[in-house]
């Protein structure tokens, strides 16, 4: 059974919201799918559906929701009802990891991490782009996330952003700054306080011969950070601004397939996590 949670919830390409419109069974299904092949305790399922103050009949109602999920699985796939297994303290939904988009995303993103650490920028770009292509929108976009699912969804969105930032890092190392400009334009608009994507945009603009625009990006970032957070941008981004003003040659791309450095001096300069 094909599972997709990186967007609206789908099973075998069927939009679950259309065949299971009730929100509570979909919450149960979403939590089980986020924890595929692991037992989800009944207490967690109850909290996801009803929060910290469940009604007196929550345990019985949960069984009803599980029945609805099992019926859905049976309708989508022969023997599908057998995928949902009742354990002593909860339920387990058995899924082939190769058929689960979240499993594929995490593995491909980790592969991209490893390749980036070994300065295989082309390999990192391929792995990370493949991972990012699995996303069709916000995770579980059509599920009303509760106390348990919501933090997990936020964590996945952050992992998605990290993969995208790493992918841009790799592609800047490959000299693809011009190809990245449109994507980075959208990213800085989406994340107005994210220093890393602003720094990447500044480098891409500078390398494209648009230094004045790169400095304008810094000014907008500074205005937003000061207004929203009451602090100055990080020292690394300020050093990047100075490097652009000074036309520092370390910001330029010098393709060299023999180079085995993990990151260039320029990459270190604009990484706010350092």
Per-residue model confidence (pLDDT) at position 228: 96
Per-residue model confidence (pLDDT) at position 212: 96
pLDDT above 90 covers what percent of the chain?
Answer: 86
| Cα distance between residue 127 and residue 82, in whole Å | 34
Q: How many CA atoms lie within 13 A of 5 on its CB side?
A: 27
User: Of 77, 61, 80, 76, which Cα lies nearest the Cα of 22?
Assistant: 61
Per-residue model confidence (pLDDT) at position 77: 74
| Cα distance between residue 253 and residue 215, in whole Å | 19
Per-residue model confidence (pLDDT) at position 82: 85
Per-residue model confidence (pLDDT) at position 255: 52
CA distance to 33, 64, 103, 136, per residue, from 192 (Å): 32, 45, 30, 22
Evaluate if residue 171 carries a pLDDT over 70: yes
Evaluate if residue 268 carries a pLDDT over 50: no
Three-state DSSP class for residue 193: coil
pLDDT tens digit sequence for 245-256 = 999 988 886 554
Evaluate if residue 6 carries a pLDDT over 60: yes
DSSP secondary structure string for all residues of 123-177:
HHHHHHHHHHTT--SSTTTTS---TTHHHHHHHHHHHHHHHHHHHHHHHHHTT-H
Per-residue model confidence (pLDDT) at position 244: 95
pLDDT tens digit sequence for 181-217 = 999 999 999 999 999 999 999 999 999 999 999 999 9
pLDDT tens digit sequence for 91-116 = 999 999 999 999 999 999 999 999 99
Phi–psi pair at 237, nearest 5 degrees? -70, -35
Per-residue model confidence (pLDDT) at position 94: 94
pLDDT tens digit sequence for 120-147 = 999 999 999 999 999 999 999 999 999 9
Q: Which domains does the chain have, with CATH numbers?
A: 3-95 (1.10.10.10), 177-274 (1.25.40.10)
pLDDT tens digit sequence for 213-240 = 999 999 999 999 999 999 999 999 999 9
User: Of 194, 201, 193, 269, which Cα lies nearest the Cα of 237?
Assistant: 269
Higher-scoring residue by pLDDT: 270, 80: 80
Evaluate if residue 263 carries a pLDDT over 60: no
Evaluate if residue 49 carries a pLDDT over 80: yes
What average pLDDT does the chain have? 91
Per-residue model confidence (pLDDT) at position 261: 37
Evaluate if residue 118 carries a pLDDT over 70: yes
| Cα distance between residue 2 and residue 16, in whole Å | 12
Phi–psi pair at 245, nearest 5 degrees? -60, -35
């Amino acid at each position: 059974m094909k599972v997709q949670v990186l967007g609206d919830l789908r099973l075998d390409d069927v939009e679950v919201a259309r065949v299971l419109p009730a929100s509570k069974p979909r919450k149960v299904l979403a939590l089980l799918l986020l924890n595929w092949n692991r037992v989800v305790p009944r207490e967690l399922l109850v909290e996801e559906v009803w929060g910290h103050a469940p009604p007196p009949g929550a345990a019985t109602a949960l069984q009803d929701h599980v029945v609805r999920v099992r019926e859905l699985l049976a309708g989508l796939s022969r023997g599908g009802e057998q995928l949902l297994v009742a354990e002593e303290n909860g339920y387990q939904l058995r899924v082939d990891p190769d058929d689960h988009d979240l499993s594929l995303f995490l593995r491909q993103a980790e592969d991209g991490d490893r390749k980036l650490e070994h300065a295989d920028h082309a390999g990192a770009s391929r792995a990370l782009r493949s991972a990012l292509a699995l996303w069709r929108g916000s995770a579980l976009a059509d599920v009303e996330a509760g106390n348990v699912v919501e933090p997990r969804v936020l964590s996945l969105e952050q992992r998605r952003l990290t993969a995208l930032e790493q992918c841009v890092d790799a592609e800047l190392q490959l000299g693809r700054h011009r190809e990245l400009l449109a994507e980075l334009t959208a990213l800085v608009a989406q994340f107005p306080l994210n220093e890393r994507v602003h720094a990447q945009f500044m480098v891409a603009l500078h390398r494209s011969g648009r230094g004045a625009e790169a400095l304008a990006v810094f000014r907008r970032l500074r205005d937003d950070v000061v207004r929203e957070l009451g602090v100055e941008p990080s020292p690394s981004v300020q050093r990047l601004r100075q490097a652009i003003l000074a036309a520092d040659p370390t910001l330029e791309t010098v393709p060299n397939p023999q180079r085995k450095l993990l990151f260039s001096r320029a990459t270190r300069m604009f990484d706010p996590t350092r």
